[in-house]
Amino acid sequence: MVGLSGRVTGTVGPGLVGEVIVKIRGGAEHFLAYPAMGRERIETGTVVMIVEYLPPRTVYVTAAYDN
């Protein structure tokens, strides 16, 4: 999981439980998402990189590209 990219489908940010969709195992799955950098806010549609995975369905993410 770590190192895979995904797309934000529910805003990720401080005090929020966001959501990302990740292409994995021949399909696409949704994961609960938190910002890897605590104060970062990541809007819907942003491509993100998974930096930490907590089974079964939680990931910590950071924006894959600088805007």
**Strands 47-54 and 58-63: what pairing?**
antiparallel
At 67 the pLDDT is 56
Prediction pTM value: 0.92
Q: Where are the domains of the chain?
A: 5-63
Q: Is the confidence at residue 65, as pLDDT, over 90? A: no
Please name the fold of domain 5-63.
OB fold (Dihydrolipoamide Acetyltransferase, E2P) (2.40.50)
pLDDT, averaged across the chain: 95
* Distance separating alpha carbons of residues 41 and 56, to the nearest angstrom: 23
pLDDT tens figures, 18-31: 999 999 989 999 99
